[in-house]
Copies of this chain bind each other. A is one copy, B any other.
């Protein structure tokens, strides 16, 4: 009776197992962690009882002595919410689903409120992955001193990162447009302040150059970080002397707005203007026409980010590595041959 009561209130500890098996708690610890040689008989007995009792280690106690928590932090910049929601969600899901089989939990935080530094300082995590493009050096540094860090979709000198081949992806997208016969190819981005977007711009430039097309400032527009960025940028382009026959947009969300704006202006996509995005966000398959875009392997990036973090947790002296994933152009309905009639 009292036994039952006790069990209900308190969780099972190694002491309980020790008593039941008739050994010392330290022996239970060794058996369960597989440390040190010991008779496989007592080991088996202990494991069996632990199982029977439904024992789980108290990670607070375990962590206090081992300095490992079995958790990792995943931090995302608030700015990416909710606009790029599905993009970053996919990465986070991938991290979670690869962390779980390794016995790790994932603490999810947003960049405001220093809550990421807090979780590190409070010793709640063994490492952290920082997702997104706004992670500054000042933010990363204090973390780096304490704990392994992996950057996703960003890069800082001397810090591990998993990124995507933005230059190559953009290059391929623009080259594809050129292959379709386009020569007046616009470039639209929310902002040039993001590393990823600048890299995509570089790819755009390189593709033009490679094919002997001169860069035209009038075909480049920055819509700003806000809703409606795409339509602001389109207005800017349309105000110029020359109309593009195709536009490469630095991310899908803005590309969708660009499509809307083009349609609102009474033009057709892709008949009048082809549009190609970047990311292969969920919305790319919802807009009309379905968006041609550059696929970013978010799942693989998330998986790799966790794996890399795990390696660093195991050995923090590993030299910083930058892992770059290739992209893939996904051709859908928003792009087509340049119309003959147009200039």
* Distance from A14 Cβ to chain B, minimum over Cβ atoms (Å): 14
CA distance A85 to B145 in the complex (A): 34
In the complex, whether A107 has a CB less than 8 A from a CB of chain B is yes
In the complex, whether A115 has a CB less than 8 A from a CB of chain B is yes
* Distance from A269 Cβ to chain B, minimum over Cβ atoms (Å): 12
Quick one: which of A186-240 are within 8 Å of B by CB? Answer: none
In the complex, whether A124 has a CB less than 8 A from a CB of chain B is yes
Quick one: which of A247-295 are within 8 Å of B by CB? Answer: 256, 282-283, 286-288
In the complex, whether A109 has a CB less than 8 A from a CB of chain B is yes
CA distance A283 to B106 in the complex (A): 27
Tell me which of A69, A113, A122, A146 has the highest count of chain B C-beta atoms within 10 A of its own C-beta.
A122
Q: How large is the interface on A (under 10, 10 to 19, 20 to 34, 35 or more residues)?
A: 35 or more
CA distance A282 to B287 in the complex (A): 12
- How often does this chain occur in the complex, in copies? 2
Closest to A256 in B: B286
> What are 9 pairs between A and B in contact, CB < 8 Å?
A56-B118, A60-B123, A71-B124, A85-B86, A86-B89, A96-B109, A101-B113, A105-B107, A286-B286
Known: A82-B90, A107-B107. 14 other contacts (CB 8 A): A8-B145, A56-B122, A58-B64, A60-B63, A60-B69, A70-B122, A70-B124, A71-B124, A85-B86, A86-B86, A89-B89, A100-B115, A107-B108, A282-B283
